[in-house]
Amino acid sequence: MAVRLTILGSGSRGNCAYLETDQVRLLIDAGFSGKQIRQRLATIGRTPETLNGILLTHEHSDHATGLKVIAGKLGIPLYANRLTLDAVSSQAKSTFQGKIFQTGCAFDIGDVTVETFSIPHDAQDPVGFLLRTESVSIGFLTDLGHATAMVLDRVRPANALILETNYDTQLLQADTKRPWSIKQRIMSRHGHLSNEAAAKVAEALISDHLSHIYMAHLSRDCNQPELAEKTLNQVFLQAGVNHVRLHRTEQDAPCPTLCLDASVQENPMEAPPQIAHPQNESGVVAAGALAPAKTINPQISDSSQASCDDHDAFFRRLMNDLPPTEEDEPADAS
């Protein structure tokens, strides 16, 4: 089975990933404008119209900005829990073709089993995902203030992990754009993972089968890829582990496609798959051994900044490296 993963972009200003198997084409979050998502999919020869679904972790705009176009206008099914669906519907003033799942449940979309689990983050009902096929498992773990034992257990089968490395603690503390209240919020147990916290997660997940870690959701102001990489590398160095490949992600351009199967063909599939979209089904596919992976460089034709200025002021400013303003602060901000 061919399993391809392309991080279309990741960082505090937008997050979107694309997963393709023999049967399905999925987005995980849609944190760029519809135009940006279309342009980024085009770099790997895909279009939004051929998507089978969008999996949504939570309603913050750096994950949901493109929903109005991709899920709304194009009618691509949106997989979310009830609270998150209500939140994005309200934000976008739009109704979506929602496929509601219960947090903690698993369901199938074609040949992909989607396992969902709760994560501690300042949103309505934020989740992480473990996407499983017959041969590989891919974990999505961003936007969490801390990793609980349950979270670690849920992503433990992952062969590839998209892991938040949001900020360097010293850079965040020294940052002059953010008031202390915002810094506290980012560093809180419902905020984001620092490089050091991500390293602890990686350390706890070291195994023979975990082979790829994407350093994701970096703050542009309060982190640097070299710092995140150095912090994670130290863990593997100390553990004597040399089979884990660290991947940097970029805000403005897709990553090379990771092919998690040795038998995959280099050319994209010709025809979009046709599948049903079951709701609230459960099922767990056994983890398999990870075949050797390889990457394909997409033809990157666009590296312009995502434009999503008209959405969700507070969380965009909190996580999008913009100085917060008084009117952005929710009345119940802790």
Q: Which residues bind to Zn ion, rule: CB under 5 A?
A: 60, 62, 143
In the complex with Zn ion, the residue whose CB is nearer, 49 or 309, is: 309
User: Which CB, 62 or 111, lies closer to Zn ion?
Assistant: 62
Shortest distance, position 142 Cβ to Zn ion, whole Å: 6
Query: Which string of b and e fits 31-65 if b means at least 16 CB within 10 Å?
Result: bbbbebbbbbbbbbebebeebbbbbbbbbbbbbbb
Burial of 79 (0-12, 13-18, 19+ CB in 10 A): buried
Q: What are phi and psi of 138, to 5 degrees?
A: -125, 125
Residue 119 or 260: the one with the smaller Cβ distance to Zn ion is 119
Nearer to Zn ion, 108 or 143 (CB): 143
Cβ–Cβ < 8 Å for 282, 101: no
Nearer to Zn ion, 47 or 184 (CB): 184
Shortest distance, position 300 Cβ to Zn ion, whole Å:
23
Inter-CA distances, 168 with 172, 194, 262, Å = 6, 6, 36
Minimum distance, C-beta of residue 170 to Zn ion, in the bound complex (Å): 21
Phi then psi for 26, rounded to 5 degrees? -130, 145
Q: How far is the CB of 121 from Zn ion (least distance, A)?
A: 6
Q: Report the nearest approach of Zn ion to the CB of residue 239 (Å).
A: 29
Q: How far is the CB of 31 from Zn ion (least distance, A)?
A: 7
> For residues 111 and 143, which CB has a smaller minimum distance to Zn ion in the complex?
143
Euclidean distance between CA atoms 312 and 233, whole angstroms: 35
Q: Quick one: tokens of 15?
A: 């997050």
